[in-house]
């Protein structure tokens, strides 16, 4: 009991409020010359309205297909090139947001992951996304833009951080040895439903279910520190000082659990299995279980 209380107190002391920035705070920073706003929606939706000076980017700029089966993060060199095209410099402050579709929120966390593991750390995700921005500025149409910003090339230099994004050999070696949390909805975890693109039912042996959606309110704002603490510390029994591995269907869902744990709750050692079930669940010799 004393250990659990100590872990709870530790977690409460580590929440980083800048990992998820409010629309109000972003408004105050909007004219900061170092601000780079990244919009994860599609080009058509972006053209109909976005935050002033935002830049639309497709998640495909950060990922590539392997054997037409699963996706992996692009090389550091390619991510460096994309970051520079987005105008990111070593002293930039990047805020990423979507237009309140699940995939766009997950694209935000994956882009953040890709930049962070390549040495760029000054990142926030807009809490509540574009919907919250519209609500905050419903009487100020000047805060909604349809213009395309001219972007000057940035000078960001990637410096890859190893042992964050891991492959199948690492996962095999750590089954039932470290906590593994799965970000898919519970019916896919239990094997009641089959994930698209995943042949086998169930989850990695010994993993626990931790659907990424459970960390957000219906308006896409992050749940309270108390609720996050309950989910990760009390229910999942994760230790902020020890290793944890996150996975999902194909990398996106797990990236949000990874982002919350590392950037918001400051867990010290969280790995992410990028290929996730689209690799693991399509092999015959990987340990899996249902229920």
Same domain, residue pair 75 and 134: yes
Q: What is the total count of domains within the chain?
A: 2
Name 206's Cβ contacts closer than 8 Å, sequence gap at least 6: 175, 176, 180, 289
The domain boundary residue, chosen from 84, 108, 143: 143
Same domain, residue pair 90 and 181: no
What is the pLDDT at residue 52? 97
Query: What is d(CA 168, CA 15) in angstroms, rounded to the nearest whole number?
Result: 31
**Residue 85 belongs to a domain with what CATH number?**
3.40.250.10
Q: Which two tokens stand for residue 169?
A: 């050999």
Same domain, residue pair 120 and 189: no
Would 156 be classed as within a structural domain? no
Would 246 be classed as within a structural domain? yes
What is the pLDDT at residue 11? 43
Nearest CA-CA partner of 202 in 215, 184, 214? 184
Query: What is d(CA 127, CA 219) in angstroms, rounded to the nearest whole number?
Result: 9
Would 245 be classed as within a structural domain? yes
Range of the domain at 233: 165-289
Would 2 be classed as within a structural domain? no
Give the strands of the sheet with 35-39, arranged side by side. 20-21, 123-126, 93-97, 35-39, 54-56
Phi and psi at 245, nearest 5°, equal -125, 135
Same domain, residue pair 209 and 119: no
Would 268 be classed as within a structural domain? yes
The domain boundary residue, chosen from 143, 174, 196: 143
Find out whether 117 and 161 touch, Cβ atoms under 8 Å: yes
Same domain, residue pair 131 and 177: no
What is the pLDDT at residue 2? 43
Would 38 be classed as within a structural domain? yes
Same domain, residue pair 247 and 128: no
Find out whether 261 and 287 touch, Cβ atoms under 8 Å: no
Nearest CA-CA partner of 40 in 110, 92, 87? 110
Q: Give the number of other Cβ atoms within 10 Å of residue 245's Cβ.
A: 24
What is the pLDDT at residue 16? 64
Give the distance, in angstroms, between the CA of residue 207 and the centroid of all CA atoms in the same chain.
19
Q: Mean pLDDT by 10-residue block, N- to C-terminus, for the chain (291 residues)?
A: 45 67 96 96 96 97 97 98 97 97 96 98 97 93 93 97 98 98 98 97 98 97 97 97 98 98 97 98 98 89
pTM for the full predicted model: 0.94
Nearest CA-CA partner of 158 in 79, 92, 229, 86? 79
Query: What is d(CA 165, CA 236) in angstroms, rounded to the nearest whole number?
Result: 21
Same domain, residue pair 276 and 169: yes
Same domain, residue pair 44 and 93: yes
């Amino acid at each position: 009991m004393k250990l659990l209380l100590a872990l709870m107190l530790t977690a409460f002391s580590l929440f980083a409020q800048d990992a998820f920035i409010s629309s109000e705070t972003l408004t105050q920073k909007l004219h900061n010359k170092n601000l780079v706003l990244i919009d994860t929606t599609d080009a058509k939706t972006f053209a109909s309205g976005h935050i002033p000076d935002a830049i639309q980017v497709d998640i495909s700029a950060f990922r590539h297909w392997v054997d037409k089966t699963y996706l992996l993060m692009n090389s550091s060199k390619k991510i460096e090139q994309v970051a520079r095209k987005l105008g990111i410099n070593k002293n930039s402050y990047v805020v990423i947001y979507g237009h309140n579709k699940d995939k766009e929120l997950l694209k935000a966390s994956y882009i953040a992951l890709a930049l962070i593991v390549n040495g760029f750390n000054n990142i926030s995700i807009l809490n509540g996304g574009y919907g919250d921005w519209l609500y905050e500025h419903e009487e100020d149409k000047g805060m909604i833009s349809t213009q395309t910003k001219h972007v000057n090339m940035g000078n960001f230099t990637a410096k890859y951080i190893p042992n964050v994004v891991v492959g199948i050999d690492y996962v095999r070696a750590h089954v039932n040895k470290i906590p593994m949390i799965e970000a898919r909805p519970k019916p896919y975890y239990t094997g009641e439903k089959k994930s698209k693109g995943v042949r086998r039912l169930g989850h990695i042996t010994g993993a626990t279910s931790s659907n990424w959606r459970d960390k957000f309110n219906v308006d896409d704002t992050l749940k309270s520190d108390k609720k996050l603490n309950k989910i990760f510390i009390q229910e999942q029994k994760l230790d902020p000082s020890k290793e944890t591995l996150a996975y999902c269907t194909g990398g996106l869902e797990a990236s949000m659990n990874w982002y919350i744990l590392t950037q918001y709750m400051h867990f010290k050692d969280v790995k992410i299995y990028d290929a996730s079930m689209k690799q693991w669940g399509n092999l015959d010799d990987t340990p899996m279980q249902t229920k």
